[in-house]
Amino acid sequence: MILSVKDISKSYNRGKTGFYAVKPTNFTLDGGMVELCGRSGSGKTTFLSMLSGLLKPDEGSVEIDGKDIYKMQDTALSLFRCKNMGVVPQGHTGLNNYTVKENILMPALLCGNTDKEERSDELMKRLGIFELSSSFAKELSGGELRRMSVARALINEPDFVFADEPTGDLDDESTKMVLEILREYADSGKSVFVISHDSQVKTYCDDIYTMNSGEISKL
């Protein structure tokens, strides 16, 4: 699948003045692993949210294989996202009162994939959280939650993975686990888009982009 972005932008107001969080941008994801870096507040998360179907751009289109995802009905887009887009959000996310395994399997359950138990076990083992399988998300450390959300993003084998600082609070060993699994995933023919400040991430990526005051450029 190819994701093609045409002239998307997003503006917000601060006080009485409007500003571009993301200036009109063209962009394509067509396999491989791509990094987006840039200063805090430069528009990275806003851009990722628009690419991943979570935030409608003010103008422009986000097309997957020629289909404008923001022209889909809400439920159709939700199901499409669930099957084809995995997101590792910035910060800590998890359903506190569900176990790690239940959290990871949730996207599979939501789109009727009932055969993902083995994959979930395999992902937990790869990410070093298998022994936490039956623990509740609320009992996990920040780094453990982050690895759980990486497994959750990969469970449905989506064509696109969007990870917002996936190694943010990880030690070197866990960082390596996460980056290796994302790299292998990209090598299997999928697209992986990673926002990061971590200098280790670059060495795993095919292309590097930077965001500067809402303007993206290739390094």
Ligand X SMILES: Nc1ncnc2c1ncn2[C@@H]1O[C@H](COP(=O)(O)OP(=O)(O)OP(=O)(O)O)[C@@H](O)[C@H]1O
Options 15-23, 70-78, 87-95, 102-110: segment touching Mg ion (CB under 5 A): 87-95
Smallest distance, Å, CB 44 to Mg ion?
5
CB 94 within 8 A of CB 148: yes
For residue 152, how far is the Cα from the chain centroid? 10
| Partner from ligand X, Mg ion, none contacting 84, C-beta within 5 to 8 A by type | none
Q: Which of 43, 86, 143, 168 binds ligand X (CB under 6 A)?
A: 43
Tokens of 148: 């759980």
Q: Which is nearer to ligand X, 48 or 69 (CB)?
A: 48
Give the ranges where the chain is alpha helix by DSSP (H). Answer: 44-51, 74-84, 100-110, 117-126, 142-154, 172-187, 199-202
- Residue 66's SS3 state is coil
* Residue 88 or 178 having the CB closest to Mg ion: 88
CB of 30 to Mg ion, least distance (A): 24
Q: How far is the CB of 21 from ligand X (least distance, A)?
A: 4
Among 9, 42, 45, 174, binds Mg ion (CB under 5 A): 45
149 binds Mg ion (CB under 5 A): no
**Residue 61 DSSP SS3:** strand
- Site for ligand X contains 41 (CB under 6 A): yes
Per-residue CA distances from 17 to 11, 24, 42, 84 (Å):
10, 18, 17, 37
What distance in Å separates the CA atoms of residue 128 and residue 35, rounded to the nearest whole number?
A: 24
Residue 49 within binding range of Mg ion, rule CB under 5 A: no
**What residue ranges bind Mg ion (CB under 5 A)?**
44-45, 90
